Amino acid sequence: MSDERGTSFGGALARSWRRWTVAAVALVVVSVPTGTAVAASAASSKNAITNGNFSAGLRGWSPEVVATGEFSGYPKIAVATPNSPGWSWMHQCDRSQGTKPFLSIDVPGGAAGYVQQQLSVPSKPGRLTFRTWGNLDPVQVTISIVTVRDGVVRKVLSYSPPTLQSTPASCSGRGPVTKTVSVSAFAGQKIDLRVQATSSEENGTIADFDNFTL
């Protein structure tokens, strides 16, 4: 009888060992691809543009004057928030911005200026995207790509952003828009991304930008 109990116990132990081993192997097999997927997702979500949300001011961006225009002291290139002096109207006209910073380029009377950032375009890039709007009078914006190897400037987008004010004291009812640009032609290259604005008008001639991603 003792032999039968020993055999029964041994068989039960062997079955328990097999079940534990199978469970452990299954756990390992499942956990490895999960970790790999997380790492791959983190790598693919990396933004090739430095400080694209301007949370660090103009870090990573170089401001340049193209033309001063009719009025002294312009263009004015700065990072502001809706809480900055002169910008409180945005709390009514664009509540979605909250208190987040953004880039503003003020270009009255023919003034023109731009910011530029050098970066490496991924070998398989997504699209360049950003959020943009204007203040009161119309502004013309040009997005250009400068290839570092030869210095050639290529315009990839021109537009007039929607103005959020109809008067200095009232909103137009329009809102910011998201622009997208294909940069696949520059895959794997080092480029300068240039964001330029100009206007022939005088009042509230400001182009605004936020959330550059690539």
Residues 119-141: what's their mean pLDDT? 97
Q: Out of 32-41, 56-65, 124-133, which region has the weakest mean confidence (pLDDT)? A: 32-41
Question: Residue 26: pLDDT above 90?
Answer: no
Per-residue pLDDT, 41 = 42
Per-residue pLDDT, 151 = 96
The yes or no reply on domain 62-213 and CATH 3.50.30.60 is no
Residues 44-70: what's their mean pLDDT? 94
Per-residue pLDDT, 17 = 39
* 3 state SS for the chain: CHHHHHHHHHHHHHHHHHHHHHHHHHHHHHHHHHHHHHHHHHHHCCCCCCCCCCCCCCCCCEEEEEECCCCCCCCEEEEECCCCCCCCCHHHHCHHHCCCCEEEEECHHHCEEEEEEEEECCCCCCCEEEEEEECCCCCEEEEEEEECCCCCEEEEEEECCCECEEECCEECCCCCEEEEECCHHHCCCEEEEEEEEECCCCCCCEEEEEEEEC
- Domain edges within the chain: 1-46, 62-213
Q: Out of 37-46, 150-159, 173-182, 204-213, which region has the weakest mean confidence (pLDDT)? A: 37-46
Mean pLDDT of the chain: 85
Q: What is the reported pTM?
A: 0.79
Residues 60-83: what's their mean pLDDT? 97
Question: Residue 107: pLDDT above 70?
Answer: yes
**How would residue 181 be classed by pLDDT, with cut points 50, 70 and 90?**
very high
